[in-house]
Amino acid sequence: MEVFVQQLINGITLGSIYGLIAIGYTMVFGIIGMVNFAHGDVFMVSAFIALITLLLLTTWLGIGSFVIALFVVLIVAMLFTSLVNWAIERVAYRPLRGSFRLAPLISAIGMSIFLSNFVQVAQGPRVKSIPPFFNEVIVLTPEGSGYEVAISYKQIVVWLVTAALLLVFWFVVSKTALGRAQRACEQDQKMAALLGIDVDRTVSITFVIAAALAAVAGTMYLMYYGVVSFADGFVPGVKAFTAAVLGGIGSLPGAVIGGLLIGLIETMWSAYFSIDYKDVAAFSILAITMIFLPQGILGRPDVEKV
C-alpha cells in the first residue's frame, strides 16, 4: 500500500507537468486545427532559459532565496519562451495557414528539428544540471513502518501551480473577450473575421499563451528533476500530445486529466512491472481509449460544417 501511495504522488506530479504542456497543444489545435509538433521543443527551450536564468541569479547575483529566484525564473522563462513561439508562428505557420493541410505539419516538424539542433549546438550535447536545493520532504508514514512515503515541497509546488493555471486559463477562455474570440475562430475563422475579430492577432496570442504554459512546465521540470538535455523536447512533447488526445483535444480540463492519467500509468507500470515498457503501456491505453471513445474523455464529437 505504501508503494502505491508513493507512486500515486509521483504520478500526479509527472502528470501535472504533462498536463501543462498538453494545454498548449489543445489550445493551438482548437483554434487553427493544427498539431504544433514543435511545442515539445518549445518546452525544452523554456527549460534551458530557466536553467540559464537560475544560474545567473544564484551564481552571479548571489540571490539565496528560493522563492524570489523561482518567481524571477518563471517570469523570464515565460517572457522569452512566448517571444520564441510568437516568432515561430509568424515565420513558420502563418504563411502556410491557407495552404494544404500537410504544409503546416511539415513546417512544425522542421521547426522542431531546428530548435533541437540549435540548442544542441548552443549548449552542447551533455546533460545540464542545477545545484540541488529545496529538497525538504514531508514524511507521511509513521516511524518504523518499513517503507517511507514522502511528498516533497517541489511536488506540492508543481501541483499548486498546475491547478492555479488551469483555473486561470479556464476563466480566460470561458469568460473573457479573448476567450470568445478564440471560440469564434475555432468554429469558423472566416465568419469570425467578417464579424470584426482579428484572427491573426487571436492566433498569435494563443501561441503566446501556449508558450507561457510550456515555460511554466519547463521550469517545473527543471526544478523537479534538476537536469535538462537538448533531447528532452521530443518524448515529453509526444506524451503531452497523447495526453491532450486522451483527455479530449480542445478541452482544457481534459488536457490536464489526460496528463494525469499518462503520468499515473507511467509511474504505476514502472513500479509494478517493467520500467522499459512504461511508454508502451501509456500509448496502449491511448489506443484502447481511442477505439471505444474516439473524441477522448472530455472531448466533443466532431461536427462537419456544411
Amino acid 260: pLDDT: 92
95 occurs within a structural domain: yes
306 pLDDT tier (thresholds 50, 70, 90):
very low
Question: How many whole angstroms separate alpha carbon 20 and alpha carbon 181?
Answer: 22
Q: Grid coordinates representing 155?
A: 511536488
285 occurs within a structural domain: no
Scan for cell 550535447, then name that residue: 125
Give pLDDT tens digits for 268-300: 888 888 787 788 887 787 788 778 888 888 776
Give pLDDT tens digits for 27-60: 888 777 777 888 999 999 999 999 999 988 888 8
Q: DSSP per residue over 49-103, as a string?
A: HHHHHHHIIIIIS----HHHHHHHHHHHHHHHHHHHHHHHIIIIIGGGTTS-THH
299 occurs within a structural domain: no
Q: For 247-256, b where at least 16 C-beta lie within 10 A, e where not — what string? A: bbbbbbbbbb
* Ranges 49-63, 92-106, 152-166: which has the least confidence: 92-106
**Mean of per-residue pLDDT scores for the chain:** 85
297 occurs within a structural domain: no
In the chain, the amino acid numbered 284 is S
**211 near 85, Cβ under 8 Å?**
yes
How open is the CA angle 54-58-61, to the nearest 5 degrees? 110
143 pLDDT tier (thresholds 50, 70, 90):
low
pTM: 0.89
**Which DSSP helix (H) or strand (E) runs through 157?**
helix 153-175
Provide mean pLDDT across the span 120-130: 90
258 occurs within a structural domain: no
Amino acid 303: pLDDT: 52
Q: Does 221 have pLDDT greater than 80?
A: yes
Give pLDDT tens digits for 183-209: 888 888 888 888 888 988 998 999 999
In 3-state terms, what secondary structure has residue 150? strand
Question: How many whole angstroms separate alpha carbon 252 and alpha carbon 169?
Answer: 8
Q: What are the phi and psi torsion angles at 129 (to 5°)? A: -130, 165
In the chain, the amino acid numbered 306 is V
3 occurs within a structural domain: no
259 occurs within a structural domain: no
Amino acid 46: pLDDT: 94
Amino acid 119: pLDDT: 93
Domains contained in the chain, number: 1
Amino acid 178: pLDDT: 87
Q: Does 302 have pLDDT greater than 60?
A: no
**Which DSSP helix (H) or strand (E) runs through 271?**
helix 252-272
Provide mean pLDDT across the span 171-180: 86
136 occurs within a structural domain: no
Question: How many whole angstroms separate alpha carbon 132 and alpha carbon 300?
Answer: 44
Amino acid 144: pLDDT: 64
Amino acid 44: pLDDT: 94
Burial (CB count <10 Å: 0-12, 13-18, 19+), residue 232: buried
Q: Does 121 have pLDDT greater than 90?
A: yes
Provide mean pLDDT across the span 4-19: 91
Strand partners, 138: 151
The parent domain of residue 41 ranges over: 15-127+146-233
C-alpha dihedral, 105 to 111 to 114 to 118, nearest 10°: -150
Q: Does 123 have pLDDT greater than 60?
A: yes
